[in-house]
Each structure stands twice: as structure tokens, then as C-alpha cells.
Structure 1
Amino acid sequence: MTNDSPLAPGWLSYPDDVNRLNTALWARDVARDGDELSIGGLNVGALAEQFGTPLFVVSENDFRARARSFKDAFNAAFADLCGGVDIYYAGKSFLCTEIAHWVAEEGLRLDTCSGGELAIAMRAGIPGEHLGLHGNNKSDAELGRALDVNVGRIVVDSLPELERVAALAGARGTTANVMLRLTPGVHASTHEFIATAHEDQKFGLSLAGAAGSSSPAGSVAASGDHASPAAQAVAAALAHESINLLGVHCHIGSQIFESEGFELAARRLLAFLAQVRDRHGVELPELDLGGGYGIAYTEADKPRPPAEIATAMADVVGSTCALLGLRVPRISIEPGRAIVGSTTFTLYTAGTTKSVRVDVDGADSQPRRYVSVDGGMSDNPRPVLYDADYSAVLASRASAATPVLSRVVGMHCESGDIVVRDVYLPEDTDAGDLVAVPGTGAYCWALSSNYNWVARPPVVAVRDGSARLIVRGETEDDILARDIPRTTN
């Protein structure tokens, strides 16, 4: 007999022990140390006292371990096919100078998608040849900087951009290393806003023929109205002396668990490379299959381990290349969330709490408890952007109180400011308690804002019993420094 609420989603189970951690959601060095949550041997109460809340807490050891697991698994799976894999950490998920150092020290490369991210990489001293630059609307300044530091790849997103890269490289008397981002028409099983390989969106060069054309998807006609944008880009890139065309790239979306989308994308891009070979007599040496591997935000999520992903991908690439008579290109991937997401939790202090009654069709109204915390959509906008679900625990103590369906909400002046939509927390969770939300390493601090003029939180890295700031929290002085005051005569 359970006390689960009819308001709870079907995937949310009633906890037998509200104090027990679901370890799949947390960094590997997070535990209950006595009654209190700890990370790397440090209790959260001590962290809150030293650094305040809200606070992003990242496990350095866990980050490094997850980075190594991708590198080792993919290198092993592809060793006999193409000698290994280049792992580009997707900096957009979360990037600061210290994270960039960890990426480089673990033997990964770094994918950037703006001049600012490129500046972080340069500040960290990452060699240009280990960097990539993405983006659907790169400025000439960003492209120029990439060329000046000799980035290993510029991922070109459109035909006009290809011409700009060629002109900028030619003016510098250099050659640009280019990959072409293609949209293979794969509909990934994820939120609409983070599915990126179908036709009707802003990214990439379509594999499909021109509108009104009967050309098959991926047709590599030499030029003309019936060639696909992807085919036109290949022909143009090969014709430019200032372009070194490395290969092609795709990214089907984010937070994906099923393997079918990745496998279909790989088959379509390899077929396209075979058509390029047949038309132009060139076997392009590289293929980037992007990232988007999902993590566990709640008990409903079942991510695949890197070794399983790598083995499945290697099987598809190897068998498809054999069928096409194609030399296996050097493979690269771009995990971001899958490395950093689970390494981090956000620590909040609870404030106002209340219980409400919610009408249920055909039944008596049911209670829902609201727990307000001292952060919210300014440090995690994903729930309001993508309907993202998270979990939470009472972190500063254990509780013997009854678990009740709760909603963790922020302190912003928006009714949609929800951090965790549905979670069972102890009924006695109250003001002053610390609440921890796991899985906030990816796209939380990176998407953070100053909404309501709230300062962005600090980021603390924990390793082997010590904690240090890697990004300091903003202050009101930081915010006011950009606000131009009225001058007086």
C-alpha cells in the first residue's frame, strides 16, 4: 500500500525511503554522509556556509572519469576500423577556463560555437588544431579569429558561409579546414527545440534535392537547380583552393536515448560520402556524427553507457562502409551533456513553503506542496524552455516525515518559474533547509541569466575533499557596472 498521489506523473514512483539517493542521477562521489548530502567527502552544509546558495557544485573526478569513458570506449570500438575516434567536448553545454583545462588534460578536443567560447579555449591554452567552431550565423570576426588561430575545423553551415570562409582564408593566404554540416532528415525522439537534423529548422545543408526536384536525397549532381544544397556545397568546397574539405558533419538533437536515429544518420552520411567519391573521385577523410546522448534526470531516464553506444555505432559504420566499398573515415563525436550533466548539482536554500489543494477529475481534491528556493529560472531555464523534468532531495538532513508530492519553484516573478515539477519530498521540508537538484551540469549555468536583476551563481569544483571556486558568483556591482548612469551637467 503506497500513498502515491494521483497528481504525480506515471513515471514517478512513491519512495520507500525518501532519504535514499537514486545514484544514477548523481556524480559518483555524491553520497549521504550520515544524514547530510556530501560530495567528495564534503558536506553540503559546509559548502553552503563557505560559498552561499544558489551554488553549482561539480565533481572534478566525475567529470574526468566520464570524459575518459567516452574516449576509451570509442577508441576501443573503432580501433580496427579507423584507428580511433576524436572526441570533441561540446563546450556549449558548460564551459569555463577550468573545464577547458580538464578537457585538454583528459585528451579530448573542444567544440566551440561562438567567439566567446573560442576565447575561453584560447585562454586555456588549447592548441588551435584541437578546436572546432560551429554556428549557423558566424560573424566575419569569429571566422577570422578561427583562421588566425588555425582551428582544426570550421563546421560550415550554409553555402553563403562557405563562400565567406573561402574569401577570408584566401585574403590571409591560408587554407581553411572545413567540415560541412548536413541535415540528413532524421527525426530524433526528443523535444522539438533540441531536435536538429530534420529539414524544417535553421541548421545545416540539406541532403534532399532542391524543391520540386525528383533527385534522390543526397544526390551529388555537379551543380544546378536539381543538386541538393549538400551536393552544391561539396562541389564548391572542392573548387576553392583556400578550402581543405575534411568531411561532413551532422547532429540529430539532444537528450536522445534510442539508437535508431544515430544509426540512420550514419548510414545516410556514409552513403553521401560514397556518392561524393563516385562523382568527384575523392574519399573525404572525416565524418562527425555529433552528440546528443541522453542522461538520467529522473528515474524514468535510462541512458546507455558509452561502451554500448560506441559498439553499436562502430557496427553500423563498419558494415555500411563495407557495403559501399568505402574506406572508413576518421570518426569524431561531440558529447557535452553526457560528460558534464550528471557531474553537477545545484544547491539551494528553501524559503517559503505552502500546501495547496488541486482538483482531480472524478476524485477528491489532492494536496501538492510548494517549496520555494533562492534560485530558479535564472539559473535553470530548461524546465520553462523544454518542459524538462528534474529531481530533488532534502540535502541538509535526513527526515522521518511522510513523503509528499512537491513542486520546487523559484523566486522569480513568473508562475512558470518551476525548477522541479514533480518530486516526493519529506512533508517537513521547510525554510532554511538545503535542497539539491542533480543533473544540472549541462545547459543550466550556460543558459543562466540576470532575470529580475538576479546575480548568477558561483560554480565550485570539488576534488578529493577540497573545494575551490572555478567561476565566481556575480555581485550587484557586476550587474550595475554595465548599466550606464545618467550624467549631470
Structure 2
Amino acid sequence: MDQAPALKLFPQTAQIASDGHLHIDGLDVIDLAREFGTPLYVYDAETISARCRAYISTEGYRCALSSHYPAPAEVTYAAKAFLCVRIAQLIASEGLGLDVVSGGELYIARQAGFPTARIHLHGNNKSASEMAQALDTGVGRIVVDSAQELAELAHIAATRDVVVPIWLRVSPDIDAHTHTYRKTGLLDSKFGLPLATGDAARAVQAALSSPYLTLRGLHAHIGSQILELEPFCRTVEALLDLAEEMGRHGFSLHEFSPGGGLGVPYVDADPGIEIETYVRSVSHAVVHGCQTRGLPLPRLVLEPGRSIIGPAGVALYTVGVRKEIPGVRTYVSVDGGMADNPRPALYGAQYTALVANKADQRPIETVAIAGKFCESGDILIHRVCLPYLEPGDILAIPVSGAYHLAMSSNYNHAHRPAAVLVRDGQARIILHRETDEDLARRNVALS
């Protein structure tokens, strides 16, 4: 079997076998579909590990951070992209930390045995119980998002007589040049303490004056699926300006995170930024920025999510109904859709596909891949050229590892799909498919 050009968006172990079937880590995905059913999400452990190691050194792999940043640095995986117990364990084994944004994500991380000192709690509206849970479990950092939260966290810490290490999330008013819904660093945003209004500077002073808070660093996250380097570098400059200004008030920048947001290609036409290129650019921006301002180099923390897990996942669907409208369009419906992948409906996200049981066949028709849910917007792919599709064919959509299952729903009371992790030629369930009993469990009948 040889790596085919059509597979460049698939996990790095993907191959096309002599029988024309798609294989991942040596496993025929048609066999996986038969064994586990569809929709099925297949995650390739080798791809996850390799992409973790592109950020941080493990077992002899070249470490981009140690090559380009001459001070301590770390990488924390953004759990919001996709989290389950087994993925958390794999991320931990690769030496990464973990960013969580809810009590639920923190609970799953703890179920996985993830070291809590390597967990950071984010979120724009943390509840008192979530902050208390973070303190009680020894979470490494709490990233404070607002002045109100700063005061509330100080109060919770005072009731426990503990001192909490924190970062402040700053909104630098930088356009990430991504979809509007994914922009998180503008002035008009629900996230962070705005630089432009002086809120960020006032929060620094408030944190420094609290006996129950230790301000260790500054943080920003300007968006996701970013395919340019310039916005990241501008973010570094904006936060270092704040650090320099606040240095006059006694603040020392020990830790610094420009967040995550590095995008990945979803279709052949998408540009791509290599992880090493991104790390080099951000590292150089921090080093140059600190030298220019006379600041010592802080501990640099990067927060990738999609760029680690996205390319490692493949969604498998079974083809069902064909609807041909002469001169208009041919719709081919599959057994999943917006309930397991809301991104096309939400963001207009584009995807491509491969017919997994006809992977060596020439494309002969252009079709729309439709989901099975009761929305006209439930179209996974509007135009894709494929071999002739028949009921029972297995459709494989690459780059499905991030923000699919993490954003999935029970719309139309659909069962959320199963997920498997393939490694060393074996497939293991990491998420069970939901059942009717799962759907009914939260229902309460009138007596």
C-alpha cells in the first residue's frame, strides 16, 4: 500500500490498500464500520502523538519550542477541541498540560488521572462552584476573565485561606481574520479584560493588591482556525506593552500565553502553517519583544487544540438515499450530519471526502453530502467530486477530530456516535455510542 495524494488531509497512517479500501494504522475502516457501526469517529493515536511532539520534546523527537525559545516553555492542550478520558490520558503521556473551560471538563480530566497541577481553568463565566472545585483539586492556574471574577475568586480564596496563582485574560482588540463567531480578541467580545478601556491595567493593579491572589502572567486568545502568523505576533506585542507598563506598578511577567488558535487545512485549497513555523514565529516575537522592552523572558505557554486533534480524526458515515434533481443538484444523504458535526451549519465550514470502499476509483460525479436531520442547512459538503455513490458505501471525511463530537447534540433525539482510537493495529472504543436508554435517562414522566 502507498500513501496516495488524496490522503494528504487524512491521519499520517492512512493508506489505500490493494482492494481499494481506506486503511488507518493498518486497519480497514470498512471493517471498523461493520464492527462499531456508523457514524463512527476514528482517531489515530500516532498522529496525535506526532503532533504533540511537534510542540514539545518527548522520546527523542525534535522540539520546536526548545529550538526557538531560550527559556522555559510548555504546551497545554485545549480540551474544548475534543476531550474524553482516553484522549486526556494520551495527552498526559505526551507531557502536555490541559486547558479546561468547565467543571465538566475538569471532572473528565480528573477521571483520567490527569495531574491537576498541569491543568489551567479558563472560561468567561466561571461559576463559584467551578472556581471552588479548581481550588480544592489543586488546579495549576486559574485564568481570570473579568474584574467581577477577580473579586469573586479572591473571596473564595479568602474563605479557604489560600493564595491562588492566576493569569489575567486580556482582550487586545486584534482581528484574527477568521470567521466572526471564532473571533475572540476584539474589543467587542464577551471574552477578556479589554486593553483599550483600561480594564486590563486596572485588573493587574487589583490582582497585585490582593493578599489571596498571585498574578503570575498574562494571557490572550484571539480566535481559532487562524491561518496567518501576523495576528499572533501583534498579540504578543500588545501584551508585552501591558507588561512593560504594569512593571512600573510592581508587576513581573513570569508566565505568558498568547493562547492557541492555529488553524489546519480542511480542503486541498486551504493554506496551512506548519507547527514548527508557528512556534518559531511566536517564540521569536516574544524574544524580540522582551529584548526591546528590557523584560526578562517569561515562561512561554502555547495552547493548541485543533492543530493536535483535528487531523487525527476521521468521520465515517454510511450512504443512504440519493436524490437527483436534473440540472440542479444530486443530494446523497448519510446517517449523520449536523448533530455530530455542526460546523458546516454554524460556520460554513468546508470539507472534502473519500469513498472508503472505493478509494482507488476515479471521481465521476459532483454531489452534495446531506445529513439526516430536519434542517435544510444540514449539508456536510455542498460540492464534492466522488466515485458514483450507492447505498451502503462508506464515506470518510478527514480532519474531523476537533469540534465535532465536542459540539455534538441529540438533535432529533439522535444517538451521539461512538469513537475509537487506533494504535498498533488495534481499535479500542473510547466513547460508546449512545442508546435509547441514554436518551430516556434524563426524562421524567408525569405520575
Give, as a single letter, the amino acid of the residue that structure 1 aligns with 2:287: G
Segments of 5+ residues of structure 2 without an aligned counterpart are 58-62
Deviation at 1:422, TM superposition (A): 1.8
Distance 1:74 1:288 in 2: 16
Structure of greater Rg: 1
Pair 402,298 (structure 1): closer, same or farther in 2 beyond 3 Å? closer
Partner of 1:26 in structure 2?
Answer: 10
Query: C-alpha separation between the residues in 1 aligned to 2:97 and 2:219?
Result: 16
After TM superposition, the score normalised by the length of structure 1 is: 0.88
Equivalent residue, structure 1, for 2:176: 188
Partner of 1:370: 331
Question: Which whole-Å deviations, capped at 9, do the CAs of 1:318-360 have from their partners, x for residues lacking one?
Answer: 1111111111111101100000001001000000012224xxx
Residue identity in the other structure for 1:478:
D
2:396 to 436, 447, 457: 436
Residues of 2 paired with 1:79 and 1:352: CA distance? 54
What are the equivalent positions in structure 2 for 1:414-429 lying under 5 Å apart?
414-426=375-387, 428-429=388-389
Aligned residues: 439
CA contact (8 A) 2:227 2:273 kept: yes
Percentage of identical aligned residues? 42
Q: Could you say if the C-alpha distance between residues 27 and 408 of structure 1 is closer, same or farther in structure 2, counting changes exceeding 3 Å? A: same
Check whether the contact 1:21–1:31 (CA below 8 A) recurs between aligned residues. Answer: no
The two structures, once aligned, show a CA RMSD in angstroms of 1.4
Q: What do residues 270-309 of structure 1 show as CA deviations (whole Å, max 9, x unaligned)?
A: 111011112x133220111100001111011122111111
**Structure 1 residues 171 and 423: CA distance shift in structure 2, 3 A:** same
1:256 equivalent in alignment to 2:223? no
Question: Secondary structure in 2 aligned to 1:316?
Answer: helix
C-alpha distance in 2 between matches for 1:457 and 1:265: 38
The within-5 A match list for 1:74-473 is: 74-80=64-70, 82-83=71-72, 85-209=73-197, 228-278=198-248, 280-357=249-326, 366-398=327-359, 400=361, 402-426=363-387, 428-473=388-433
CA distance in 2, matches of 1:319, 1:63: 31
- Structure 2 CA distance for aligned equivalents of residues 201 and 282 of structure 1: 26
User: Which deviates more from structure 2 when the two are superposed, residues 40-49 or residues 69-78?
Assistant: 69-78
How far the C-alpha of 1:190 sits from its partner, in A, is 0.4
Contact 1:24–1:296 (8 Å) recurs in 2? no
**Deviations 1:104-147 (Å, cap 9, x if unpaired)?**
10000000000000001111112221000011000000000000
Q: How big is the shift at 1:414?
A: 1.0
Identify unmatched segments of 5+ residues in structure 1.
Answer: 1-18, 210-227, 358-365
Deviation at 1:196? Answer: 0.5
Report the residue type matching 1:190 in the other structure: T
SS of the residue corresponding to residue 22 of structure 1 reads helix
Q: Once structures 1 and 2 are overlaid, which stretch shifts more, 250-259 or 119-128?
A: 119-128
1:482 is paired with a residue whose SS is coil
CA offsets 1:363-416 (integer angstroms, 9 cap, x no match): xxx453211000000000000001100111111124656522211110111111
More moved, 379-388 vs 124-133: 124-133
Which range is displaced more, 121-130 or 395-404? Answer: 395-404
Asked if 1 retains the 8 angstrom alpha-carbon contact of 2:69 and 2:287, the reply is no
For residue 58 of structure 1, the aligned residue among 11, 27, 43 is 43
Q: CA deviation at 1:155?
A: 0.6
| Residue number in structure 2 paired with 1:13 | none
Q: Aligned partners of 1:41 and 1:66: how far apart in 2?
A: 19
Q: What is the identity, as a one-letter code, of the residue corresponding to 1:369?
A: T
Deviation at 1:75, TM superposition (A): 2.5
1:289 aligned counterpart, secondary structure:
strand
Q: Is the 8 A contact 1:151 1:177 kept in 2?
A: no
In structure 2, do the counterparts of structure 1 residues 267 and 402 end up closer, same or farther at CA, with 3 Å as the change threshold? closer
**Structure 1 residues 319 and 401: CA distance shift in structure 2, 3 A:** closer
- Runs of 4+ deviating beyond 6 Å: none
Q: Which amino acid aligns with 2:332?
A: V
AA paired with 1:62?
T
- Does the 8 Å CA contact 1:113/1:133 hold for their aligned counterparts? yes
User: Is the 2:354–2:397 contact (alpha carbons within 8 Å) kept by the matching residues of 1?
Assistant: yes
